[in-house]
Amino acid sequence: MASHSGSSREKSVVGSASTPTPTQESNQFQDVESPMEQSVPVDVPSQTKQTNNSTEIALKCNIFKTHFSKLYNNDGIVTHGKCNYCGSEFKHGKGREYDTFNRHIEKKHPDKLGHTRSQSQIRFIVDEGMGSRSSLFTFSQTKYRDKIAETISVERLTFSFAERCQVQECINGTLQPACKKVSRRTIQRTIFKQYKNYKEQLCEYFRTFNSSISLCSDVWTDVFHENSFMGITAHWVDDKWNIQKRVLAFRVFNESHTADNIYRLIRGVIEEFSLMFKIFSISFDNASAANMTSIRSLEDFLRPSCGGKYFHIRCVCHVLNLCVQSGLEELKEFVLPVREVIAYLGKSMTLMKKWARYCKAHNMRVKKFPKDVKTRWNSTYRLLSVAFPYRSLLTNFVNDSLVGFCLYEYQWVLIARIIDLLSVFNTWTNLFSQVYFPTSHLFLYGAIDVAEQFWKFRSDPQLFIGIIPMKIKWLLYYKNIPPISLVAFVLDPRQKLEGLQDYLEAYYKFLGFNGGQDSQPFTTSLPMSDMDTQDSEPESDSIMDVNEIVANVKSQLVELYDSYCIRYSHKIPQVARETVGQSSSSGGESFRWRQAKKKPRESQYTELDLYLNTVFCFSEEINTDMTFNVLHWWQGNGNPYPILSLMVKDIFACPMSTVVCEQTFSADGNMLDTTRSQLSPQNIEIQVCTDDWKRAQVRQQEAEQESPNTSDFFYTDNMMSTPGATTANESDQDSDANK
* 462: pLDDT strictly greater than 70: yes
Listed range (8-22, 96-110, 262-276, 388-402) with the worst mean pLDDT: 8-22
Lowest mean pLDDT among 358-362, 567-571, 653-657: 567-571
C-alpha distances in Å from residue 322, one per residue of 475, 614, 630: 12, 40, 29
Of residues 420 and 136, the one with the higher pLDDT is 420
| Least confident interval from 3-7, 123-127, 271-275 | 3-7
Per-residue pLDDT at 90: 85
pLDDT of 714: 37
pLDDT in tens, 155-185: 888 888 888 999 989 988 888 888 999 999 9
3-state secondary structure of 89: strand
Q: What is the DSSP string of 536-599?
A: --TTS-S---HHHHHHHHHHHHHHHHHHHHHHHTTTSPPPP-----S---TTS---EEEESS--
CB 512 within 8 A of CB 467: no
Higher per-residue confidence, 327 vs 678? 327
Please give the pLDDT value at position 580.
Answer: 36
Residue 123 scores a pLDDT above 90: no
Q: Which residue has the higher pLDDT, 697 or 54?
A: 697
CA distance 738 to 292: 10
Beta strands in 253-301, from DSSP E residues, in sequence order? 279-284
Against a cut of 0.85, is the pTM above it? no
* H or E segment and range at residue 245: strand 243-252
User: How many whole angstroms separate alpha carbon 662 and alpha carbon 704?
Assistant: 11
Distance in angstroms (rounded) separating the CA atoms of residues 25 and 551: 76
Q: What is the pLDDT at residue 5? A: 41
CB of 310 closer than 8 Å to CB of 281: yes
List, for residues 513-562, the tens digit of each pLDDT value: 865 554 444 433 333 333 333 333 444 456 888 999 999 999 999 999 99
Q: Can you tell me the distance from the alpha carbon of 533 to that of 393, in angstroms, rounded to the nearest whole number? A: 51
* Nearest alpha-carbon partner for 283 in 557, 655, 538, 14: 655
**Most confident range, picked from 65-79, 123-137, 251-265:** 251-265
What's the rounded mean pLDDT across residues 259-278?
91
Main-chain dihedrals φ then ψ at residue 30, nearest 5 degrees: -90, 130
- The mean pLDDT value for 476-502 works out to 93
Residue 384 has pLDDT above 80, yes or no: yes
Asked if 676 and 158 touch (Cβ cutoff 8 Å), the reply is yes
**% of the chain at pLDDT higher than 70:** 70
464 within 8 A of 453, measured Cβ to Cβ: no
Q: Kind of pairing, strands 279-284 and 213-221? A: parallel
pLDDT at residue 483 greater than cutoff 90 = yes
Give the model's pLDDT for residue 120: 54
Q: To the nearest whole percent, how much of the chain has pLDDT over 90?
A: 32
Residue type, 277: F
Which tens digits make up the pLDDT trace of 658-716? 887 877 666 545 555 555 566 788 888 888 899 889 888 888 877 544 433 333 333 32
**What pLDDT was estimated at residue 133?**
55
pLDDT reported for residue 570? 72
Q: What is the mean pLDDT of residues 191-203?
A: 93
Q: pLDDT category, 621, cuts 50, 70, 90?
A: confident
Nearest alpha-carbon partner for 25 in 41, 4, 36, 10: 41
Q: Of 42-51, 202-211, 386-395, where does mean pLDDT reach its minimum? A: 42-51
User: Span 334-356, mean pLDDT?
Assistant: 85
Mean pLDDT value of segment 79-100: 81
Mean predicted confidence (pLDDT) in 571-584: 44
Tell me the C-alpha distance between 290 and 733, whole Å. 12
Of the segments 60-69, 493-502, 705-714, 719-728, which one has the largest average pLDDT value? 493-502
Mean pLDDT confidence for 719-735: 37
Sheet architecture: strand order including 89-91: 68-72, 78-83, 89-91
Count Cβ neighbours within 10 Å for each residue of 533-567 and write b for 16 or more, e otherwise: eeebbbbeebebebeebbeebbebbeebbeebbee
pLDDT of res. 296? 87
What is the per-residue pLDDT for 213? Answer: 94
- Is the pLDDT at 226 greater than 80? The verdict is no
Looking at the predicted structure, is the pLDDT value of residue 364 above 90?
no
The reported pLDDT for the residue numbered 63 is 76
Q: What is d(CA 18, CA 355) in angstroms, rounded to the nearest whole number?
A: 74
* 8 Å CB contact between 181 and 717: no
Q: Which residue has the higher pLDDT, 238 or 702?
A: 238
**Secondary structure element (H or E) that encloses residue 214, with its range:** strand 213-221
Give the start-end residues of each E strand in 324-463. Answer: none
Mean pLDDT of 289-313: 84
The pLDDT of residue 17: 38
Question: What pLDDT sits at residue 517?
Answer: 52
Report the range of poorest mean pLDDT among 107-111, 216-220, 273-277: 107-111
**Average confidence score pLDDT of the chain:** 76
pLDDT band at 13 (very low <50, low <70, confident <90, very high): very low
Residue 198 has pLDDT above 90, yes or no: yes
pLDDT given for residue 674 in this prediction: 55
What is the per-residue pLDDT for 4?
43
